[in-house]
Amino acid sequence: MEMWIRFWPFLAVFSIMVTWEFISPRRILAQSRQERWPTNLGLTLLNVVLVWALVGAVAYMAATFAAKQQIGLLHWLSAPLWFAVPVTILVLDFALYIQHRLFHAFPLMWRVHQVHHADLGFDATTGLRFHPIEVFLSLSYKAVVIIALGAPAWAAVAFEIILNATSVFNHSNVSLPERLDRRLRWFLVTPDMHRIHHSTRAVETNANFGFSIPWWDRLCGTYRAEPALGQLGLEIGLSYYRDSFHLGQLLLLPFQARIPLEKTWKEISPLQLSEMLVEEAPPYVLDVREPDEFTGELGHIEGAHLIPVSDLDKRMNELAPCRSQTVVLV
Ligand SMILES: [Zn+2]
C-alpha cells in the first residue's frame, strides 16, 4: 500500500513539473526529450519494478519493525508525534545529504552515481535517473537510519513522498522569477540551486548536494549561489562523457566507468613529453604559459595549443577537441 500512497503524489508533481517545463523552460535542452526520456523513464520504470518485486515498502517496513521491537532513539525517548515527525524528516534529509556526499567522495560509489550525472540534459526526468545499485544502497541506508532513529512509520513514508517530489522539482527545467528563487532557497532546494551540482566543472559538481532542505549545504560549506558561466551558460553533465547512453549502456556504466580526469593525472618530465610528441597519436598539449615564460628546457613546443592562463576563461570553447585525447598541461 505504501507504494501506491507514494505513487499518486509523485504522478501529480511529475505531471505539473513537465507541463511547467513545456510552458516556461529555463534553458534550451542540449539534447531533445525524444533522445533522453526513453532512457531516463526506462531506468525509472526498471527501478520501480525491481524495488516493488524484491523489497517492497522498505521505509514503512523498517519503521514498523522498529516500533514492534521498541528500538531506536525516538522510541526510547517516548517522543510524542509532534516532535517525532519533524525530527524524522530533518534527520532523514540530513542523512541523504551525507549519503550524496559519500557517493561523490568514494570512487566505487561515484561509478554508480555518475549514471545520474551523465545526463546531458537537466529536467524532471533527471531527478528519477538513478542506477538500481544506487537505489538499493540508498534504501538500505535509509532503513538503518529509520531503525536507529525509531522513526514513526507514516513520517518515514511522508519523507519518501517529499523526497520524490523535491527531486523532480529541483531537477526540473522551469523558469522561476529570480527574486522568488532567492527567497525559496532559504527553505527549499530550487532548480537553479541544484542545476549547479550538475555542472561539468568539478568545483561546481562538488557543491549543492542537498535534495530538499538547503540548510545542510549552507551549514557544511558546500553551498554555491551561482555557477561561473551563469545559469544559461553552464554546461550540464560530465566532461568525460559527452555522448548520450541508452538504457543498457547506462546499466553497465558503473562496471566500465572511466575514472574522472582529476583522479588520473600524473606528472611527466620534459623528456617524456618530447617522446610522446613523436608518437603516432600525440597528446593534446595545452600550454598555459605566458609567451615571456618560454624559457628552460621546453622552450616553445611545436604544435602546442597556446592559451595563456590569463586567457583561459575567455577561450574555454577552444578546448573542445581535447575531450577525446590525452591532455598534457604545460
Ligand atoms: Zn550528485
CA–centroid distance, residue 127 to ligand 1 (Å):
11
* One-letter identity of residue 229: L
Report the length, in residues, of the chain.
Answer: 330
CA–centroid distance, residue 51 to ligand 1 (Å):
21
Give the other-Cβ count within 10 Å of 176's Cβ.
16
- What are the pLDDT digits (tens) for 50-95? 877 666 688 888 889 988 988 889 889 888 889 999 999 999 999 9
CA–centroid distance, residue 209 to ligand 1 (Å):
6
285 close to 277: Cβ distance less than 8 angstroms: yes
pLDDT of residue 209: 96
Rounded CA-CA distance 270/199 in Å is 33
Strand ordering across the sheet containing 284-287: 305-306, 284-287, 327-329
pLDDT of residue 8: 81
Give the residues of the chain that fall short of pLDDT 70: 1-3, 30, 53-56, 257-266, 280, 292, 294-298, 320-325
103 close to 15: Cβ distance less than 8 angstroms: no
pLDDT of residue 218: 95
305 close to 287: Cβ distance less than 8 angstroms: yes
CA–centroid distance, residue 240 to ligand 1 (Å):
16
CA–centroid distance, residue 152 to ligand 1 (Å):
28
- What are the pLDDT digits (tens) for 247-274? 988 999 899 756 554 445 667 777 777 7
pLDDT of residue 323: 60
CA–centroid distance, residue 115 to ligand 1 (Å):
10
CA–centroid distance, residue 113 to ligand 1 (Å):
7
pLDDT of residue 33: 80
pLDDT of residue 324: 57
Dihedral sign for Cα 209, 38, 15, 62, please.
negative
CA–centroid distance, residue 260 to ligand 1 (Å):
14
pLDDT of residue 170: 94
CA–centroid distance, residue 275 to ligand 1 (Å):
39
Residues with Cβ within 8 Å of residue 172, at least 6 apart in sequence: 17, 18, 20, 21, 123, 124, 127, 191
